[in-house]
Amino acid sequence: MSSSVSSAGPRGPAGLAELSATNGDRHTIRLKNVHKTFGGGSPVLAGLSVDITDDAITTILGPSGTGKSVLLKHIVGLLEPDVGEVSVFGQDIWRVSEVDRFELRKRFGVLFQDGALFGSMNLYDNVAFPLRKHTDKSESEIREIVMTNLKEVGLEGAVHRAPNEISGGMRKRAGFARALVMRPDVVLFDEPDSGLDPVRTRLLCQLITQMHAEHGGTYIVITHDIASARTLSDYVGVLWQGKMVHYGEAEEAFASDNAFVRQFLAGDAVGPLGMD
Ligand SMILES: Nc1ncnc2c1ncn2[C@@H]1O[C@H](COP(=O)(O)OP(=O)(O)OP(=O)(O)O)[C@@H](O)[C@H]1O
């Protein structure tokens, strides 16, 4: 973990003061003037720049289809920008060798919408998979880590179940356990709240906050659920029309006088964002 304030798990104004005092200038993830267009369509990212603050939970908000998942795939090096730079851990991810890019990716944990579990493996083997593939740990070491991680997400009683034998919320928690198993410096969540009822959403947000407080690291959570963003965020980024129209401390974002940011965060029907 690359975290000076990680065990503190910065929450609330006091946490943020501590964060900026110790950590203000460190940015593991930086995007500079990133453009991305698919085929002959209109640009999805159109000059997006942002420096994500380390050792905090950032939520990225924006309307449907605005490019949040595309942004996440750029951060983890799964998509290459047409123009611009994506720098992770101080290196331009597209100017390093493929082998180095693969090494950089190992420092990320990603939780995709449905948990992205292997259907043919039980939960234990799903969580053990990255350790078996990328480390030379013994099976008894792996067992200890896997059981700890599954316990942390409340799934120690479901280790032998297959993904299709458990609920969507449990699949997300199992995906979370797997995303954390390599002790990543950065964890990316692609709409962890999608398809969950409000209570399960709240519980998952609590789990994310709690795991961040325990393990530290830089968490980036993509969502369009404003309630989740309020619960989770140390920092908020708002994406619109291919750009990061706002990035800053959560309180600042929720008090923004930018017409779009205000409309989106308040969920107002009136404002620059319409149905198109
Ligand atoms: N591989 C791809 N090829 C072509 N178009 C793509 C590809 N990936 C994404 N897009 C397009 O990019 C746009 C942004 O998609 P993206 O999934 O990033 O939006 P989003 O903000 O995550 O949306 P939502 O909140 O609905 O999940 C969409 O128009 C989508 O069709």
Query: Among 69, 71, 80, which is best to mutate for testing ligand 1, by the most ligand atoms less than 8 A from CB?
Result: 69
Residue 57 CA: distances (Å) to CA of 130, 237, 262 = 24, 11, 21
Instruction: Give the Å distance between the CA of 123 and the centre of ligand 1.
Output: 29
Q: Does the pLDDT at position 22 exceed 90?
A: no
Residue 73 CA: distances (Å) to CA of 143, 188, 192 = 30, 10, 15
Position in ligand 1 atom list of the atom nearest CA 191: 27
Averaged pLDDT, 239-263: 88
pLDDT of residue 275: 61
Query: Which segments within 91-176 are labelled E, that is strand?
Result: 91-92, 108-111
* Cβ-contact 201, 147 below 8 angstroms: no
- For the chain, the average pLDDT equals 84
Instruction: Give the Å distance between the CA of 29 and the centre of ligand 1.
Output: 21
Task: Provide residues with CB under 6 Å of ligand 1.
Answer: 38, 44, 62, 64-70, 224
- Residue with CA closest to ligand 1 atom 3: 38
Position in ligand 1 atom list of the atom nearest CA 224: 25
Per cent of the chain over pLDDT 90 is 45
Q: Does the pLDDT at position 53 exceed 90?
A: yes
For the stretch 116-164, pLDDT in tens is 789 899 999 999 999 999 899 999 999 999 999 998 888 889 999 999 9
- Residue with CA closest to ligand 1 atom 8: 70
Structure tokens at 220: 């980036």
The domains located in the chain, with CATH, are 29-113+181-266 (3.40.50.300)
List the single range of 70-74, 142-146, 249-253 with lowest mean pLDDT: 249-253
Instruction: Give the Å distance between the CA of 68 and the centre of ligand 1.
Output: 8
Q: Does the pLDDT at position 276 exceed 50?
A: yes
Position in ligand 1 atom list of the atom nearest CA 239: 21
- Residue with CA closest to ligand 1 atom 26: 64
For the stretch 89-120, pLDDT in tens is 889 999 999 999 988 888 898 888 766 789 89
Sheet holding 57-61, edge to edge: 108-111, 186-190, 218-222, 57-61, 235-240, 243-249
Instruction: Give the Å distance between the CA of 225 and the centre of ligand 1.
Output: 17
